[in-house]
Structure 1
Amino acid sequence: MRSLEDILAISVGRKGSVEAIFEGFAPSKTPAELAAQPDDRWLSAMTRAIFNAGFNWKVVESMWPGFEAAFEGFAPGRCSMMDDTWFDALVTNKAIVRHGPKIRAVQENAVFIREVADSHGGFGTFVAGWDVTEFAGLLAHLKSNGTRLGGTTGQYFLRSMGVDGFILSRDVVARLIAEGVIDKPPTSKGAMTAVQTAFSEWHRTSGRSLKEISRILATSTG
């Protein structure tokens, strides 16, 4: 496995400069900023990532005001109590994407968020306290305890909220394979452990955030 500086040199050779690599790059939020975000915004972002998965993101974006209205601002307490009447109205509501299982996931994830918030003083506080060197563990937790949050869905959800972490895009995976970290897209616990180990090592030796490392890996191939 090459050093991050060596991979950065590959990226610079492809993109022309470090500035080009990080064009439009926004830093991750601080733990205090993460903890300050209310639970309804976490449920909103979680839902948006779920509806984006396998669908046209621009369509979801254009319809998002309708989602916010239909789900009553994504208040976890309200959404966790979704009854059949509300569910039936949602699956026929043309202001949103009418996908029954994803709509049901809102209720189930509202329950998940409430449970976490009750034990940690807020979902944001829970996420903010997670060790960055164990990001893969946070993804596994979301997958196991939430609904429809596996694959890259959980990764995009956390990134959208400003959490420092990686996204295993096709380009990032290609670099990880080239570096011998994995031999195919990671789906097993063992493969994700290998990915986390590599990112943690690059983080330790370079001082760069996981998000920065993810960008460097992506631009070295894509």
Structure 2
Amino acid sequence: MSWYCDYAIGDDLHGPYHDKEYGFPICEENQLFERLVLEINQAGLNWGLILKKKDNFHKAYDGFDVDIVSEYSEKDRARLLEDEGIIRNKLKVNAVIENAKTIKAMRDSHGGFDKWIASHHPLKKSEWVKLFKKTFKFTGGEITGEFLMSIGYLPGTHSPECPIYKKIEKLSPAWMAQGLEFYQE
């Protein structure tokens, strides 16, 4: 198995994400939304490109504020499709807006996006993929798996020898709390 650690550690672009974000548990709604948006936009592209454009995404999508993005108009969609700083893919832009609406609705149905995720844990990756495909737009197996790994719900982000693994271990992410030791299909 190839780990992100194998090439991210010390890399100017990948290193900060590896060291401070990837695999760390998060529960704040806008942060979860940001991670989902970035994973959706990465589909078919290189993660490095997404990291290079991360600040542009933050600006284009109003700081990933679910309330604001869920209310985007056709004018906003057009603005995003013209924004050279982000990925200008109509399917991805539409998915982001629709997914913001879905996440906003989860406040009433589950108490929030984080509680919705927690209410389904633990699932095997294949079960998560089915759930995400049923619930969200533009979320296939790779997007769902990477999203859940990146927020601490599935294992596989760092090798056990990686110093960041030890930091994450102290935070007891959901996959560790459930005793999952490998990436489950």
**What TM-score comes out, normalization by structure 1 length?**
0.59
Deviation at 1:139, TM superposition (A): 2.4
Q: Is the 8 A contact 2:53 2:85 kept in 1?
A: yes
> Is the CA contact 1:132–1:165 (under 8 Å) kept in the aligned structure 2?
no
Give the structure with higher Rg (CA).
1
Give the RMSD, CA atoms, in angstroms: 3.2
Q: Tell me which stretches of 4 or more aligned residues in structure 1 moved more than 4 Å.
A: 23-29
- The number of equivalent residue pairs is 151
Higher helix share goes to which structure? 1
User: Does the Cα contact within 8 Å between 1:49 and 1:153 map onto a contact in 2?
Assistant: yes
Q: Tell me whether 1:63 sits opposite 2:82 in the alignment.
A: no
The aligned counterpart of 2:99 is 109
Q: Which residue of 2 aligns with 1:158?
A: 148
Distance 2:78 2:31 in 1: 24
Gaps of 5+ in 1: 1-10, 12-19, 168-202, 218-222
Q: Deviations over 1:190-221 (max 9, x none)?
A: xxxxxxxxxxxxx9xxx841xx3129x9xxxx
| Structure 1: distance between partners of 2:64 and 2:121 | 27
SS of 2:152's equivalent?
Answer: coil
Question: Shift of residue 86 of structure 1?
Answer: 1.0
Q: Which residue of 1 aligns with 2:37?
A: 47
1:139-218 paired onto structure 2 within 5 Å: 139-164=129-154, 208-209=179-180, 212-214=181-183
CA contact (8 A) 2:128 2:144 kept: no
CA positional deviation for 1:124: 0.6
Structure 2 residue 128 is matched with structure 1 residue 128: no
Aligned pairs (5 A) from 1:74-89: 74-89=64-79
C-alpha contact 2:145 2:154 (8 A) present in aligned 1: no
1: CA distance, partners of 2:79 / 2:88: 10
On the 8 A contact 1:155/1:165 being kept in 2, the answer is no
Call closer, same or farther: CA 1:28–1:95 in 2, change over 3 Å: closer
TM-score (norm 2): 0.70
Deviation at 1:39, TM superposition (A): 1.3
